[in-house]
Amino acid sequence: MTNEKNIQTIQQAYADFGNQNMEAVLNAFADDIIWNDGNKPEIPYSKIRNGKNETMSFFMELGNTVAFTEFTPQEFYADNDAVLVKGSFAGKAIVTGKSFASEWVHIWKFRGDKIISFQAFNDTAALIEAIN
């Protein structure tokens, strides 16, 4: 796929996530996707996941842990089979009600027209403080 098409696919995945259309999000993923959201044991949803089923559990655990008040992808960069996205988010922890905010970077990789991996970088200390 072209860089532009890969960026469009990622932009649509973010839009589908924002609209809570998880079926469409999952349809963009390869069956063997590797999902890495930091692998921090102090954050319930933060672990490496393999495949669509485990990745779906990420979204369920995320929704049980935090409520976003803002989630904004801001800049998109593509090169061959990779898309890098810079953005920011803010929200509250479900259990404590404490607020958090962070800038983030997401790296998405493709095989053909399917997303095969995701890796997130953000301020995990802010999240850990909010949820504990």
Tell me whether strands 114-122 and 99-111 are parallel, antiparallel or unpaired: antiparallel
Q: Residues 70-113: pLDDT tens digits?
A: 999 999 999 999 999 999 999 999 999 999 999 999 999 999 99
Q: At a CB cut-off of 8 Å and minimum separation 6, what does 30 contact? A: 111, 114, 115, 116
Print the SS3 string covering 31-92.
Answer: EEEEEECCCCCCCCCCCEEEHHHHHHHHHHHHHHHEEEEEEEEEEEEEECCEEEEEEEEEEE
Above 70 in pLDDT, residue 1? no
CA distance 79 to 100: 31
Distances (CA, A) of 101 to 6, 48, 122: 27, 22, 9
| pLDDT of 123 above 70 | yes
94 three-state secondary structure: coil
Model pLDDT for residues 14-62, shown as the tens digit of each residue? 999 999 999 999 999 999 999 999 889 999 999 999 999 999 999 999 9
pLDDT of residue 37: 94
CATH number of 3-131: 3.10.450.50
